[in-house]
Amino acid sequence: MENLNYTAAHNAFRDQIRKFLKSEVIPYANQWEKDKITPREIWRKMGKNGFLCPTIPKEYGGQGLDFLYSVIIAQEMAKTNESGLITPLHSDIIVPYVSAYGSEEQKKKYLPGCVSGDIIMAVAMTEPDAGSDLAGMTTTAVEEGDEIILNGSKTFISNGINCDLAVVAAKDPAVENPHKAISLYLVEKDTKGFQKGNKLNKMGMHSQDTAELFFTKCRIPKANLLGKKGEGFIMLMSKLQQERLVTAIMGISAAEHILAQTLLYCKNTLICGKPISKSQVNQFSLAEMATEVKIGRVFVDKLISDHMEGLNIMKETSMAKYWITDLTKKVSNQCLDLYGQFATLEKYPIIRNWRDTRVMTIFAGTNEIMKGIIAKSMGL
């Protein structure tokens, strides 16, 4: 963390969220895992204590803080062994669509609730037959008088059950160019024709309410158009830099936490009267992981600094998203091996960490997509 300019205020904020997570999240993580959802009340507690949307301007109920506060939240959340409460998705990936592209009326209506935790947001892009290929989506938006009629379905939508407001990507079927046909719309949870499907039963992140969303003759007012019509694809692309950076921050923070837990385990667990950490092969494995994680931290911190300066680092954040999440998967795999037979027992967090981090190479754009973007930027 010495690579970034954390102030005394940043450090005090870190202490505050650590104490909060210790008392309000960590003791309940196992229960939320069993419940397969996080309670809405924890969102309100996060909001009340200033841990949601810290960068939102004060005139919309936020604190107007810099991006490092979001970084601190993501880092500390990674240490809780509770990955379902992914508030960085809400605060730093979805809500920025409203703060950047929303009308003044939309900002005043929705942002204070996003900050307080009374409004939980989701972004609905992925479809059963269109994941990373956004241009291939089939959900339609047709104007009729003063309304817009949405028809289609979305899947793998994080916060799908808990969400109060969704940013929905849909296309105008009358526009031939798929990249100019897409627009973004704000859909409230009680809108007629908007139905939440079942929560998906996933390999990991059990407490994350990932669900299907259905839109059947769903009528919303034209005022719910987010930004300009036909610019949805551009808007989505413009926010990918921060989305991929946030994913990399979450990934490297998870890798650091998993490694730290495993190091303690190896030092304190005896095999044939000696700590596991005294085996040379285990020492080398830990040393290699520590080196790569350190390299990853330096890379991510540099991108955080560049991002805060407003630099265009789309290629670099694509590199970070792919390399860091691959590293996180590798670290969780190797650490699981170091636990030996105890890796079969659910009481050890490493098992949940291994399950939960596996999906990171897939969401926010698969790592294969990231490699394609990097290759294109190289003129290949």
Separation of alpha carbons 245 and 324, rounded Å: 10
**E strand or H helix at 155, and its extent?**
strand 147-157
Q: Is-contact 202 352, C-beta < 8 A?
A: no
Q: Is-contact 162 145, C-beta < 8 A?
A: no
Separation of alpha carbons 52 and 80, rounded Å: 17
Q: Look at the block and give the residue holding tokens 């003063």.
A: 146
Separation of alpha carbons 281 and 349, rounded Å: 23
Separation of alpha carbons 338 and 252, rounded Å: 20
Contacts of 134 (CB under 8 A, 6+ apart): 125, 169, 182, 233, 236
Q: Look at the block and give the residue holding tokens 């309410």.
A: 209
Separation of alpha carbons 58 and 343, rounded Å: 47
Handedness of CA 69, 74, 80, 84 (dihedral sign): positive
Q: What is the identity of the amino acid at 208?
A: Q
- Cα 230 to its chain centre, rounded Å, is 26
Q: Percent helix, strand, coil in the chain (nearest 5)?
A: 55, 15, 30
| DSSP code string of 317-350 | HHHHHHHHHHHHHHHHHHHHHHTGGGGG-TTSHH
Residues marked as catalytic: 243
> Quick one: which of 253, 188, 185, 173 has its CA closest to 222?
185
Q: Look at the block and give the residue holding tokens 């601190």.
A: 72
| Nearest 10 degrees: Cα torsion 360, 364, 369, 370 | -80
